[in-house]
Amino acid sequence: MPHLLTRWNWQRKLITEHDLTPNPSPCQGEGLGRGPNEMELQNLATKAKITWCPGCPNSQILVSFRKAVTELVNENKIKLENLVAFAGIGCHGKISDYLNVNSFTSLHGRLIPAMTGAKCANPQLSIVGFSGDGDSMDEGLEHLVHAAKRNSDINLFIHDNRVFALTTGQADALSPKGYKSKSTPFGSLEEPFNPLLLVLSAGATFVARTYAGDIEGTKKIMQAAIAHKGFSFVDIIQPCITFFDTRDYFKERVYWLDENLTKNDLGAAINKVQEKEEKVPLGIFYQVEKPTFEEELYK
Ligand SMILES: Cc1ncc(C[n+]2csc(CCOP(=O)(O)OP(=O)(O)O)c2C)c(N)n1
Ligand code: SF4
Ligand SMILES: [Mg+2]
């Protein structure tokens, strides 16, 4: 039964009085309140009850995105009606329920084909996808590699918690060697992928990493990704505080790269993303302009 496998959410939700009601969740954040004609943060909230674990950093990603979009719309850099948010299956995928924008919830690992299809059909759209490490690095890995290779003009934000969180914390492709879970009771035997190295070698033209706990930093990276023409990959470190709480580990290690560092040197980017994890750099590692798939398609 198809309706048991997927949730379709492909409609433009009109902004009504109802939607302007502040969402009671702490994810709401404050409105920008810059004038009667400007969009406020509340416009992007929905009535859906937030069901993430209390304190889950997914909420910080949600706030970062609402802030990023509110600013971009008010600065006339994007039109809200042209924005489509796609989501995979997992804890991360609930984000589309909490965003009052055009949205589409896909099958597990299959949001990228939906994103590329929408962009091909209407190149004016700004396409953003929220995916999990399991969603894009396990089930959907082939789609990720090919979207990077063909430089589709889409933006992929990975909620990187290094586990299959929704299904209770089993090891996935990004779990560290030795990680103990229900599926790996004696510790994972495998080394994880380095997702940034993977997409750099596949051809991504915008590659960045951020930390969910840094809401302003994440907002800026999201805005830069959306502004980039081509395949943008943003790895958002998002500790799963219930099944794999890495907050202390990352809080001590993350640091921002110097923004003035050259971003068009693939070799330098490859070296940087392979730095050992005594320190974890955040920022844009790589950004270059190349023809996009859709430009080639409509030439
Ligand atoms: C094809 C398919 N395989 C497996 C599942 C079961 N499943 C649902 S969510 C999930 C884990 C998702 O992990 P991730 O993408 O990392 O998202 P997170 O929950 O960590 O945000 C799995 C394995 C499914 N729904 N569909
Ligand atoms: S299980 Fe983990 S990722 Fe999912 S909502 Fe809870 S803390 Fe967040
Ligand atoms: Mg995950």
pLDDT digits (tens, 9 = 90+) for 72-124: 999 999 999 999 999 999 999 999 999 999 999 999 999 999 999 999 999 99
Instruction: With beta carbons less than 8 A apart as the criterion, state whether 114 and 130 touch.
Output: no
- Which atom of ligand 1 is closest in space to residue 109's alpha carbon? 1
Q: Report pLDDT for 211.
A: 98
Query: What are the distances in angstroms from CA 223 to CA 6, 41, 53, 138, 257?
Result: 29, 15, 27, 27, 17
Q: Report pLDDT for 32.
A: 41
Q: What are the start-end ranges of the H helices in the chain? A: 2-5, 17-20, 58-74, 111-121, 133-134, 141-150, 195-202, 215-227, 247-253, 266-273, 293-297
In 3D, which of 113, 86, 109, 106 has the Cα closest to residue 164?
109
d(CA 57, CA 157): 14
Structural domain spans, the chain: 56-297
Q: Report pLDDT for 278.
A: 87
Candidate of 6, 7, 91, 108 to mutate for ligand 1, largest count of ligand atoms within 8 Å of Cβ: 108
In one-letter notation, the amino acid at residue 150 is: R
Neighbours of 5 (CB within 10 A): 9
DSSP 8-state symbol, 135 = I
User: Which residue, chain included where needed, has tokens 């974890």?
Assistant: 280
For residue 102, the surrounding DSSP H or E stretch is: strand 102-105
Q: Is the CB of 167 under 6 A from ligand 1?
A: yes
State the pLDDT confidence band at 277, using cuts at 50, 70 and 90. confident
In this predicted structure, the answer to whether residue 11 has a pLDDT above a threshold of 60 is: no
State the pLDDT confidence band at 26, using cuts at 50, 70 and 90. very low
Q: What percentage of the chain carries pLDDT values higher than 90?
A: 85
Interacting residues of 121 by C-beta distance below 8 A, sequence separation 6+: none
Q: What is the pLDDT of residues 116-130, one digit of tens each?
A: 999 999 999 999 999
d(CA 263, CA 288): 7
Q: Report pLDDT for 71.
A: 97
State the pLDDT confidence band at 35, using cuts at 50, 70 and 90. low
Cα Rg, the chain, nearest whole Å: 18
Interacting residues of 116 by C-beta distance below 8 A, sequence separation 6+: 147, 150, 152, 154, 293
Q: Report pLDDT for 23.
A: 44
In this predicted structure, the answer to whether residue 13 has a pLDDT above a threshold of 90 is: no
In this predicted structure, the answer to whether residue 7 has a pLDDT above a threshold of 60 is: no
Q: Report pLDDT for 4.
A: 28
Mean pLDDT of the chain: 89
State the pLDDT confidence band at 34, using cuts at 50, 70 and 90. low
Length of the chain: 299
Q: Compute, in angstroms, the gap from residue 141 CA to the centroid of ligand 2.
A: 22
Q: What is the pLDDT of residues 148-187, one digit of tens each?
A: 999 999 999 999 999 999 999 999 999 999 999 999 999 9
Q: Which residues line ligand 2 (CB under 6 A)?
A: 52-53, 56, 58, 91, 161, 165, 240-243
Q: Report pLDDT for 18.
A: 33
In this predicted structure, the answer to whether residue 219 has a pLDDT above a threshold of 90 is: yes
Between 38 and 297, residue with greater pLDDT: 297
The CATH number of 56-297 is 3.40.50.970
Q: Report pLDDT for 36.
A: 62
Q: Compute, in angstroms, the gap from residue 47 CA to the centroid of ligand 1.
A: 25
Q: Is the CB of 164 under 6 A from ligand 1?
A: yes
Neighbours of 135 (CB within 10 A): 32
d(CA 207, CA 263): 10
